[in-house]
Amino acid sequence: MMKRILSILAIMTAVASISCSRQKELHVFIWADYMNNDVITAFEKNENCRVVMDFFDSNEALYAKVKAGATGYDLYICSSYMVNIMNDQKMLQSIDLWKLKNIGNIDPEYLKISLDPAMSHSVPYMMSFAGIAYNTEKVKNFVPTWGMLDRSDLKGRITLLNDLRETIGAALKFNGCNYNSLNPAELDKARQTVLRWKKNIAKFDVDEAKRGLEAGEFFLIHTYNGDALQIISQNPKIAFAVPREGTSISVDDMVIPTSAVNADLAYRFIDHLLDPEVCSKNMEYISYLAPNLAAQKIMPKDFMQNPAVLPSKEILKKSDILKDLGADNATYSKIWDEIKSAE
């Protein structure tokens, strides 16, 4: 018995070492199903290397793992706010922009609101944003504003995201403030706004709301654009709009950890992903927008004119990227508890 186990182990190590020595490997740590397979295969062919993907289920899990010392990854693709935290902890390499010949494709308008406007340690991959998805048959006189949440004719048919930053943030934006506001007066006003909305809505929810909107149980839900696109592909009666006051934007960035073994290959992979053709293939596959102007130009018109894909420039300017607030997160949690426990 022991012999058999030992031989299995020996085979395992042998297989692992053969696959290591044959070709260069690039190890990417990313969300599952977040990249077009053809894009990866093309890179493997060009560079004669192997791309190995590993997955995490939340930004926090990724952080806990790599902070504890897990190494071997050459590239992470994770949310901006986590990139911010990791950069503060000196866990990321600074990016040498000269090594990326496609870097000029990045939208300068986007960079103005980015958490890393100089791209000193991160390059944006994809962006998504929150907004309002609604049933065009049931919602009359739709106006793209957060004020829709006050409409009494939709009472009990609305849902808000069960996410403290998104929902308090939407109220802040409705009152003309920033999503990352720490001003007590602004926050108190936002709390009252959400409390008023709470009386008008059915519930705070993320996933059940999507099913409910598709099935006709809810008429108007606060949701993310990627999810809205998927609901629309199932049910053409649904439409999506970004409130004119602005919204929250979340971005996934590509970063190279200090522990990367194959940093050069990671640079070439980032450059590959910034290539207009490649980037547009990725956008088509995951239905998210990349802040890549050259790629946006060659995307099909109906993709780019879809408000669920691309908010207008004016709205983009008024929108904010959610920041990690560190110790001040507690302020938001406290407000959220008050909202959740209120009658």
Handedness of CA 215, 142, 130, 39 (dihedral sign): positive
The interface mask with other proteins, positions 258-297, x = CB under 8 A, is: ----------------------------x-----------
CB 171 within 8 A of CB 190: yes
Size of the site for other proteins (CB under 8 A): 42
**From 61-69, 130-138, 309-317, 333-341, span contacting other proteins (CB under 8 A):** 61-69
CA 336 – CA 167 distance, rounded (Å): 9
By beta-carbon proximity to other proteins, the closer residue of 26 and 132 is: 26
Based on CB atoms, which residue is closest to other proteins, 55 or 136? 55
Number of other CB atoms surrounding residue 218 within 10 Å = 26
**How far apart, in Å, do the first and last CA atoms of the chain sit?**
64
The window from 55-63, 161-169, 178-186, 292-300 that contacts other proteins (CB under 8 A) reads 55-63
CB 30 within 8 A of CB 77: yes
- Are 132 and 220 in contact by the 8 Å Cβ rule? The answer is yes
- Residue 7 as a binder of other proteins (CB under 8 A): the answer is no
Residue 98 buriedness (CB in 10 A; 0-12 / 13-18 / 19+): exposed
- Check: CB of residue 146 under 8 Å from CB of residue 245: yes
Q: Which residue has the tokens 């547009």?
A: 280
If binding is defined by CB under 8 A, does position 233 make contact with other proteins? yes
Using the rule CB under 8 A, which residue among 70, 111, 195, 263 binds other proteins? 70
Q: Quick check: 230 binds other proteins (CB under 8 A)? A: yes
Site string for other proteins, 186-225 (x = CB under 8 A): ------------------------xxx-xx----------
CA atoms of 249 and 247, how far apart (whole Å): 7
As measured in angstroms, the least distance from the Cβ of 109 to other proteins is 25
Q: Tokens for 3, please give them.
A: 């012999």
Instruction: Report the interface residues with other proteins, using CB under 8 A.
Output: 1-2, 4-5, 8-9, 12-13, 16, 25, 27, 31-34, 37, 52-57, 61, 64-65, 68-73, 210-212, 214-215, 226, 230-231, 233-234, 286
